[in-house]
Amino acid sequence: MPSRPRVPLVALVAALLVGVAATGGPAGAVATAFASWGSFEGSANAYRTTMQLSGAAFPTATMTSDSRGGTVGIASSAFFNAATPVGQAYGSSQGSSYVVLRPRADNATAPSVTTYAFESPTPAQQWGFALSDVDADAVTISAVVADGDGVRQATGAELGFQGAFNVCSFGTPRPGGCTASIGDVPTWDPATRTLTGNPQALDTVGATGWFEPAVRIRSLSLTFRQRAGLPAYQTWFFNRTHTLAGTVSDVSTGGAACPVGGTVLRLVDQNGRDVATTTASDDGAYSFGEVASQIGYRVILEAPEGCAVVGPAQQTADASQDVTVPAFGVREIVPYPVSGRVVDDDGQPLAGVTVTLDGPEGTVTTTTDGDGRYLLDDNPIGDGYVVSVDPPPGYTGTTQRPAFAIDDAPVTGQDFVLQAPSSVGGAVTGGGSPLAGVVVELDLGDGSPPRSTVTGADGTYEFADVPAGSGYTISVVPPEGYDAEPPIEGVVVDADDVTGQDFALTRPGALGGRVTDGAEPLPGVTVVVDGPGDPVTLTTDEDGGFYRGDLPPGTYTLDVTAPDGYEVVGEATRTLTITDAGEIVGGQDFVVRAVAPTPTTPTSPSPTAPGGTTGTSDPPDAGGPGTDPPPPADAPPGGSGLPDTGGTALLTVVLGALLAAIGAVSLRLARSRSRGDAVD
């Protein structure tokens, strides 16, 4: 929405690092929360922060934005009250924080792109986001989703649009400035994935659309376009969490005991990340607390010293609702145990690997714990024991150990080292800075569909489990505003990882400014932009503004031409540079002022000679009859230097006529007096 004094920058700065505001019921109930934000860093067209939703396992998102500067940042003055649709689903957001951003420049051709790069795919349920103050602007949403071993673009339906509303339409409490905004809502077009403000592009308050994605999102991009004025918009995030808990029991027999207090348990999310660790209490109860709502969790138990796990050492859990993980059982080791460890070629433990022991009395299985260790006990003395493993997908190596015998002692050291599959990776940068959320494709050249992945917050990408081969091609899908980069061809993969497959993208820049007459904008002024390519002539609009986009890197010169009746105040030429980063170089302002009209000097008529003839243009000799005396030696050339208005010449004529009249009257009086004297 257009800039308004009700959201001053001071208020935004004061609201930095506002924490999560959570609402929830009694223990064990669903809890809800709004996001917390890291520090808002950077400068115009290069901002950065982090966003974190509540609960273990919800991935942190790194936000990057090329929004213009001004009143932007983390704020907490606006809110959804409990009666709004968001409030009914997630509770009131009063006191919670959100981010305020703007276009890249304040015109329809320079949208900003804000990307939230999640460190791993999000859950596919029970979280969402809202876009508010969408009125004189529009927001297009793009999401890269995890799909099997690759990624793809989300459809409009998968973004989970829940509806549009206005925060001012649901009673009190409500944010300030609501009086004239009740009922104004944006519209959603799933085909273009665009949320657009009111048809008139009027400045209002609180027009909101909200979403609950139904897919696992790797990156979320918001393209924000100006439609009128100086718009800004708000972005909110929120989610639900559930409690995940269980028990560890001692199932030893024959009077033996296995203490369960202090047993270590790890929580792994569906993306394979370790997201939480806890320990069991003396009674065997454990809890990971509130975790993000999602399916596919794994709980992995590390057997207490001197104890064996009964059954698998890991179990799955669904936390899309409150859950209690099926209980783990441990017992005292029964002679004679067989144990070992499974690691990769870098020595990293492989958890959850299935291990099988074949012996004289049958077959038993278990899985490795969080440290890659396994133990199979209660084995009788005998010959012909064999241990084997079922490698995780893509891993290779020796999967079966040589046969051995059990005497009257534990058998240890039955270890496995598995070769991790090769990977291919690199980084994508734009203007030297990491680009997050960029889709990268790997074509194996065998006719199969290309594999795809997405760059993380640091701009890096990796394809795991790549088979050995040659002639592979890597390409990048440039994000909006960036130029395409040629693919990397002929990539060879063998037993070693392939790194350094980097892309350096560029994007065109832009420049802009205003021409003013003092404080007033001046439309119709010509500004010439000269740089790479042919010169371009721009004309200022009704606000005195000029703007030029799609400029390749290079040095540019701006020349302003003052319109008729004006002159340029200060410099009329500016020079600037645009780099591969594609900067928008704003503030290239010029000032002109009106020029006062030049005064003109009227020409006095030439004196008339006796007989009605005009005197000649030749001046009389100096000092002769009819000439003025020369000016004093210290007088400026041309007399006093003031403009000749004709007043002196006119006064001379009038005085001469008056003196002549007085002389005539005097002469008559004298004659009369003489006549009178004669009569007398």
Strand partners, 5: none
The pair of three-digit structure tokens given for residue 26, joined into one six-digit string = 């009694």
How distant, in Å, are the alpha carbons of 153, 611, 648, 657, 665 from that of 660?
107, 19, 18, 5, 9
Pick the CATH number of 422-505 from 3.40.47.10, 3.20.20.80, 2.40.37.10, 2.60.40.10: 2.60.40.10
pLDDT digits (tens, 9 = 90+) for 170-201: 988 988 878 767 889 999 999 999 999 999 99
509-594: CATH superfamily: Immunoglobulins (2.60.40.10)
Residue 336 has pLDDT above 50, yes or no: yes
**Percent of the chain with pLDDT strictly greater than 90:** 70
| DSSP conformation class of 169 | G
pLDDT-derived band at 606 (thresholds 50, 70, 90) equals low
pLDDT digits (tens, 9 = 90+) for 210-220: 999 999 999 99
Max Cα separation, the chain? 187
Taking the C-alpha atoms of residue 153 and residue 320, their distance in angstroms, rounded to an integer, is 24
Model pLDDT, residue 26: 30
Model pLDDT, residue 590: 97
**Cβ atoms of residues 37 and 99 within 8 Å:** yes
Model pLDDT, residue 649: 37
Taking the C-alpha atoms of residue 548 and residue 561, their distance in angstroms, rounded to an integer, is 17
Least trusted range by pLDDT, from 93-102, 302-311, 312-321: 312-321
CB atoms within 10 A of CB 508: 15
pLDDT digits (tens, 9 = 90+) for 425-446: 999 999 889 999 999 999 999 9
Q: Could you give the count of Cα atoms lying within 13 Å of 155 in the half-sphere of its Cβ? A: 4
Residue 25 has pLDDT above 70, yes or no: no
Q: 416-418 and 338-344: which strand pairing?
A: parallel
Least trusted range by pLDDT, from 202-211, 212-221, 295-304, 382-391: 295-304
Residue 679 has pLDDT above 90, yes or no: no
Per-residue pLDDT, averaged over 392-411, amounts to 94
Taking the C-alpha atoms of residue 60 and residue 37, their distance in angstroms, rounded to an integer, is 10
Model pLDDT, residue 312: 85
Per-residue pLDDT, averaged over 30-39, amounts to 94
Short-list 88, 126, 89, 36, CA closest to 319: 126
The count of residues in the chain is 680
**Cβ atoms of residues 471 and 514 within 8 Å:** no
pLDDT-derived band at 669 (thresholds 50, 70, 90) equals very low
Average pLDDT for the chain: 85
Q: How far is CA 346 from the centre of its chain?
A: 37
Residue 188 identity: W
Element (H, E) at 131: strand 127-132
pLDDT-derived band at 162 (thresholds 50, 70, 90) equals very high
Asked whether the bond before 566 is cis by omega within 30 degrees of 0, the reply is no
Short-list 273, 158, 270, CA closest to 220: 158
pLDDT digits (tens, 9 = 90+) for 352-375: 899 999 999 999 999 998 889 999
Residue 654 has pLDDT above 80, yes or no: no
Least trusted range by pLDDT, from 34-38, 338-342, 474-478, 493-497: 493-497
Residue 659 has pLDDT above 80, yes or no: no
Model pLDDT, residue 655: 37
State the Cα angle at 84 between 79 and 90, rounded to 5°: 75
pTM value? 0.77
Q: Where are the domains positioned within the chain?
A: 9-240, 242-418, 422-505, 509-594
pLDDT-derived band at 657 (thresholds 50, 70, 90) equals very low
**Cβ atoms of residues 296 and 270 within 8 Å:** yes
Element (H, E) at 671: helix 647-679
pLDDT digits (tens, 9 = 90+) for 69-91: 999 999 999 999 999 999 999 99
Instruction: List b or e across 433-450, with b for residues whose CB sees 16 or more CB atoms inside 10 angstroms.
Output: ebbbbbbbbbbbeeeeee
Short-list 212, 217, 211, 214, CA closest to 186: 211
The H helix count followed by the E strand count for the chain is 3, 53
pLDDT digits (tens, 9 = 90+) for 479-516: 988 999 999 999 999 989 999 999 999 999 999 999 99
pLDDT-derived band at 519 (thresholds 50, 70, 90) equals confident
Domains 422-505 and 509-594 share a fold: yes
242-418: CATH superfamily: Immunoglobulins (2.60.40.10)
State the Cα angle at 552 between 550 and 557, rounded to 5°: 95
Model pLDDT, residue 9: 30
